């Protein structure tokens, strides 16, 4: 099982090989994309539309026509693709929407070449230009749940309601993702989730602003620890996404400094005081052990859940 750091490295040294399509390249994905941007929407639409028109007879060559196909779908009568290889529209959307696993990015690139959106010789440049990730996508993929899971859901869950605008992969894993706070420092381990509670902002105007994974933690003395995190909080090269050897002091405080706002009311928590975008913040430890059965770390949600 890949550690968070090992898994992170796959995005920065993504090998894509397909002899039929003439692809033999490696991509270093460095972009930060929080949700599908205009560029991703264009490429997703073009790739899906061409597949719908060329292989399924879509009159308008549209994404909606590909979505209507049974999922997964199969590309028949194409000598450059194995007719028994399964594909899903959701997987293509994640590749161009900053949500993909390494395997889904590789498949998205293969389909871009197949549909003529780029040539095999330019595949690496195309991938570097159009692919990217954000923090909850990285964490969700490693945990084996939907990479579109909201940060707040890891702390509070989604409840019984259907999340507004949720994609199918969110719906099939939404009851798995509410993680309990860790109450004993001895339970913090590799793969523990670290969620950042700060001033409201962003989607849904939530206090929950960032999410990361523990790579390692070492006890120094009393409440002091040395921690290394794997996290995708900004654009950059591999080491940009590793926060190494940070000295932290673990506390049971539940209020950000200088505020009355309480994190995870009624629940004992362990966290450390820090800042986020210049504002007072707490980073709380959430227990991910309930997801240990998801032994295919980063296996495409489409492959595992059919969405």
* DSSP three-state, residue 132: strand
Q: Are strands 242-249 and 271-276 parallel, antiparallel or unpaired?
A: unpaired
Whole-prediction pTM: 0.95
Query: What does the alpha-carbon distance between residue 215 and residue 238 come to, in Å, rounded to a whole number?
Result: 14
CA angle 159, 134, 255 (to 5 degrees): 55
Provide the 10 A C-beta neighbour count for residue 218: 10
The confidence band for 19, taking pLDDT boundaries of 50, 70 and 90, is very high
Q: Residue 162: its pLDDT value, please? A: 81
Q: Residue 306: its pLDDT value, please? A: 59
Task: List, in order, residues 6 or more apart from 273 with CB less than 8 Å away.
Answer: 249, 251, 253, 256, 257, 280, 281, 282
Q: Is residue 157 packed enough to be buried (19+ CB in 10 Å), middle (13-18) or exposed (0-12)?
A: middle
Query: What does the alpha-carbon distance between residue 256 and residue 282 come to, in Å, rounded to a whole number?
Result: 6
Average pLDDT on 161-186 reads: 91
Query: Could you read off the pLDDT of 193-221 as tens digits, one per residue?
Result: 999 999 998 767 899 999 999 999 999 99
Q: Is residue 169 packed enough to be buried (19+ CB in 10 Å), middle (13-18) or exposed (0-12)?
A: buried
Closest among 145, 182, 198 to 167, alpha carbons compared: 145
For residue 88, CA distances in Å to 123, 129, 157, 281, 303 come to: 21, 22, 27, 39, 8
Average pLDDT on 218-242 reads: 98
CA distance from start to end of the chain: 23
Task: Write down how long the chain is.
Answer: 307
Query: Could you read off the pLDDT of 243-284 as tens digits, one per residue?
Result: 999 999 999 999 999 999 999 999 999 999 999 999 999 999
Query: What does the alpha-carbon distance between residue 105 and residue 118 come to, in Å, rounded to a whole number?
Result: 14
Alpha helix stretches (DSSP H) within the chain: 4-12, 38-56, 63-67, 89-96, 102-114, 123-130, 135-143, 151-156, 168-173, 301-305
């Amino acid at each position: 099982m890949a550690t968070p750091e090992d898994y992170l490295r796959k995005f920065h040294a993504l090998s894509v090989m397909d002899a039929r399509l003439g692809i033999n390249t490696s991509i270093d994905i460095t972009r930060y994309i929080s949700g599908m941007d205009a560029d991703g929407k264009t490429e997703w639409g073009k790739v899906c539309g061409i597949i719908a028109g060329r292989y399924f007879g879509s009159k308008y060559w549209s994404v909606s026509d590909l979505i209507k196909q049974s999922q997964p779908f199969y590309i028949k009568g194409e000598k450059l693709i194995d007719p028994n290889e399964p594909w899903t529209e959701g997987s293509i959307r994640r590749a161009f929407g900053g949500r993909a696993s390494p395997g889904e990015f590789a498949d998205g690139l293969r389909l871009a070449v197949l549909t003529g959106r780029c040539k095999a010789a330019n595949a690496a440049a195309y991938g570097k230009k159009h692919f990217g990730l954000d923090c909850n996508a990285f964490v969700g993929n490693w945990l084996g749940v939907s990479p579109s899971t909201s940060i707040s859901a890891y702390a509070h869950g989604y409840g019984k309601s259907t999340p507004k605008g949720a994609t199918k992969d969110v719906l099939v894993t939404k009851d798995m993702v509410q993680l309990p706070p860790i109450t004993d420092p001895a339970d913090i381990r590799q793969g523990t989730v670290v969620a950042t509670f700060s001033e409201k902002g962003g989607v849904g105007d939530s206090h929950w602003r960032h999410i990361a994974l523990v790579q390692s933690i070492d006890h120094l003395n009393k409440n002091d620890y040395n921690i290394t995190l794997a996290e995708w909080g900004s654009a950059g090269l591999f080491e940009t996404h590793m926060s190494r050897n940070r000295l932290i002091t673990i506390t049971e405080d539940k209020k950000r400094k200088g505020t009355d706002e309480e994190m995870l009311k009624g629940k004992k928590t362990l966290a450390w005081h820090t800042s986020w975008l210049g504002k007072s913040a707490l980073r709380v430890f959430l227990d991910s052990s309930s997801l240990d059965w998801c032994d295919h770390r980063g296996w495409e949600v489409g492959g595992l859940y059919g969405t």
